[in-house]
Amino acid sequence: MSLQIQMLGTGSAFAKTFYNTSALIRSNELNILIDCGSTTPRSLNDIQIQPDQIDGIVISHIHADHVGGLEEMAFRLLYESNQKKTKLYLTKAIANVLWENTLKGGMYNPEDGYHSLEDYFDVIVIEEQVPVVIGPGLAIELVPTLHIPRKPSYSLFINDRIFYSADTRFSEELLLHEVIDKRNCHTIFHDCQLSGQGFIHATLEELLTLPEHIQQRVYLMHYADNMSDFIGKTGRMQFVVQHEIMDLPE
């Protein structure tokens, strides 16, 4: 049994160098995406993975750097891969808005029978804070986090031991109590705004307040194009590297 994470992109919403942050989880022959931003199809192409090799996509929230690649994925599956649908794992709160507020404009096509998210994806609605088994050795849990007020947004626990923040404000409470004390996560992928105030993301300054033994577990993602200016300034935390395959304990 093995679990690998390969970041398809490690950059912020506006990053041009590192692509939008999204991850490919490879677990016992399954390929699962965490988010599918505007640059994700290009990144998959870079590593020679085609949409029909993706077994499922988990959605954290509906900013374009996290869902902007879904239309291409669905259309390519439909028109290039013999009408295959991929699984889409999301909460009810996200399902409600993803179609109406994001995808419908490009994908609504009643003449050909395409009216809804379900016409393009095998939609699997999952409960908040309930782990769902996606495949052998892979369980995902979505926990609500604070990103934009009144916008549903989630972080993920993978097999209860890996924390993936997606986009969230810094929460010492979540990191110290839930991620470390309760679940003893060995690996933490956290979004990181390198400079300025963290109105909607965790800042490097805030993350540097974590005790060193926690920083050691942290990989920084969702960073700006000037990341190299900050090498050596991230305490015990390290920047996650785009396309590097990381072997993690299940």
Ligand X SMILES: Nc1ccn([C@@H]2O[C@@H]3COP(=O)(O)O[C@H]3[C@H]2O)c(=O)n1
Q: Which does 206 bind (CB under 5 to 8 A by kind): ligand X, Zn ion, none?
A: none
Residue placing its CB nearer to ligand X in the complex, 130 or 148: 148
Closest distance of CB 191 from ligand X, Å: 8
Q: Which helix (H) or strand (E) holds 214?
A: helix 212-215
Closest distance of CB 167 from ligand X, Å: 5
Q: Which does 26 bind (CB under 5 to 8 A by kind): ligand X, Zn ion, none?
A: none
Would you call 114 a catalytic residue per the annotation?
A: no
- Give me the phi and psi of 79, to 5 degrees please: -100, -20
**Hey, which residues between 64 and 103 contact ligand X (CB under 6 A)?**
65
| CB 224, CB 19: distance < 8 Å | no
In the chain, DSSP assigns E strands to 3-9, 22-27, 30-34, 56-58, 87-90, 122-125, 132-135, 138-144, 154-158, 162-164, 187-191, 218-221, 238-239, 245-248
In 145-191, DSSP assigns E strands to 154-158, 162-164, 187-191
CB within 8 A of 229, min separation 6: which ones?
Answer: 194
Compute the distance between CA of residue 165 and CA of residue 153 in angstroms, rounded to an integer.
Answer: 10
Q: How many Cα atoms sit within 13 Å of 130 on the Cβ side?
A: 8
Q: Which does 119 bind (CB under 5 to 8 A by kind): Zn ion, ligand X, none?
A: none
The residue type found at 249 is P
Residue placing its CB nearer to Zn ion in the complex, 13 or 123: 13
With CA atoms as reference, report the closest residue to 91 among 51, 118, 124.
Answer: 124
Q: Which residue is at the shortest CB distance from ligand X?
A: 13
Would you call 108 a catalytic residue per the annotation?
A: yes
Position 64 contacts Zn ion (CB under 5 A): no
Residue placing its CB nearer to ligand X in the complex, 133 or 148: 148
**Hey, which residues between 143 and 162 contact ligand X (CB under 6 A)?**
148
**Hey, which residues between 158 and 177 contact Zn ion (CB under 5 A)?**
167
Neighbouring-strand partners of residue 187: 162
Residue placing its CB nearer to ligand X in the complex, 32 or 192: 192
Q: Which of 8, 18, 23, 63 binds ligand X (CB under 6 A)?
A: 63
Choices 60-68, 103-111, 126-134, 176-184; region in contact with Zn ion by CB under 5 A: 60-68
- Active site residues per annotation: 71, 108
Residues that bind ligand X (CB under 6 A): 12-13, 63, 65, 148, 167, 199-200
